[in-house]
Amino acid sequence: MAGSQRLSDTDAIRGIEERLGCQFRAPEVLGIALTHRSFSATRGAPNNEKLEFLGDAVLALAVSDLLMKQFPHYHEGELSKLRASLVNARVLAQKAQALGLGEALRLGKGEEKSGGREKESILAAGFEALVGAIYLDRGFAAARRIVARQFMPDMQSRSGAAVEDCKTRLQEITQKLFKATPTYTLVMETGPDHAKHFVSQISVAGRALGRGEGKSKKSAEQAAAMEALEALRGEVEPQGQGVPAGREGGAARTAPGTETAGAR
């Protein structure tokens, strides 16, 4: 966005945490993820390059894992192509912009003057550093959930008929497990009319199960349902009662869809 200016550290961290649905235990880790090397070169502060390196690996693993679970019949070549279409500088920069990273980055004066807040390479690197920060602060399970939240709508749009109607599948499972149907709540709507961005949260009997994002309310709800299915699988599989894709599973406790400071 043209003419964007940097937010204060406090506003930047709060805004990103809100949009992510993730509260950092150590906000300073997020602060490092937002620090470009052009800023640290003049201030002597740590920069986000190591977190970018870490986040690149975490992102690749999380997306690969999600793709293998969502598309079990795809062969390696198809999975590689799909991952490449999802994880690239253009897509990561778009996700960074949607999260407001551009306004939150700490840049040196030179980068600031040259429009660094809108540069694709800087935004994409910032997104990878953010993923690395989430992994360090909250662990891989939390990082994977947030990656899923960010990328499920893209997987749906690229997969065609390969992705089932997750809302229908989830309703069948929750009816069996909890005798209740899911409730979807629109928690955020941003962007101009031609480029809307929606965030939906799903709950069952008042308990949060997942959160999803998308370019329409329907896609955001589908992404939330997909995350809820993942959460339910994670809860019941240790008990030997998995919830396989497309089938109901055994009894389970609910899992929260938003990371908080209470548990990893």
- Show which residues are catalytic: 56, 128
d(CA 259, CA 68): 24
Which residue type occupies 260? T
